[in-house]
Amino acid sequence: MGNSSYYAKILLVEDDFDLAENLIDYLERRNFVVHHAMNGPLGLNALAEESYDALLLDIRLPGMNGLSLCQYLRKEMQDDLPVLMITAADSLDDRLAGFNAGTDDYVVKPFALPEIEARLTALLRRSGKQLPGADDVITYGDLSLNVGQMRATRAGQDLNLTIMGFRILLMLAQSAPNIVSRSSLETAIWGDEPPGSDALRSHVFALRQELDRPFDNPMLKTIRGVGFQLVRS
């Protein structure tokens, strides 16, 4: 199987819930993992507790604005984390303030979602993050995952997976034959606020119907009390 990691994990700090929801939906469909914090202090807590590949940061935030958060990040935490700042103002003073605070790039509201993706991708590549091409393929046994196209086949047969099902299967394939814990899957998919074990159970059940039901040998094993494992068929 391939050993390259696919998802870039992004922390989005944005207090506009509708905008955050649009960004998360778009970026996750483009195969980013996005964790969301609603204000500056929650953003700092997230940065202290987990590692991220990039920070997408609104400049106007309750509790602590984006400039202060970025300055604190640079001085006290991570000096090299790529930061893309979102601002509603396009004045030279605002841009200079952002760069002086330590941001790497900025985007001005209103923006097109593909512009966010393009700027994030440029920052990630500049930082040395290995991002996939459209034809990156991970194989394990008779399972094949085309990561860029989000397409999965088993024994040459297309699997009709949801976006969530593909993400779960990709995590399992990247870790196979090691066991992936339930908590690791939930964190990767939903961040710090998983909806509960029933949600994960439902997605795994749907994945199993596509991955295993039509075939003689099941690949997806449940390790009771621990998590899930992908085995060769």
* Contact between residue 232 and residue 212 where contact means Cβ atoms under 8 Å apart: no
| Range 161-176 average pLDDT | 86
In which band, very low, low, confident or very high, does the pLDDT at 154 lie, cut at 50, 70 and 90? very high
Q: Quote the pLDDT of residue 210.
A: 94
85 closest CA partner among 112, 62, 61, 59: 59
Is the confidence at residue 225, as pLDDT, over 70? yes
Is the confidence at residue 37, as pLDDT, over 90? yes
pLDDT higher at 126 or 204? 204
Quick one: CA dihedral 23, 69, 183, 150, positive or negative?
Answer: positive
Is the confidence at residue 6, as pLDDT, over 50? no
The tokens of 186 are what? 């939930």
Q: Quote the pLDDT of residue 175.
A: 82
Q: Quote the pLDDT of residue 1.
A: 36
pLDDT tens string 47-82: 998 889 999 999 989 889 999 999 999 988 877 899
pLDDT tens string 81-108: 999 999 887 677 777 887 888 899 988 8
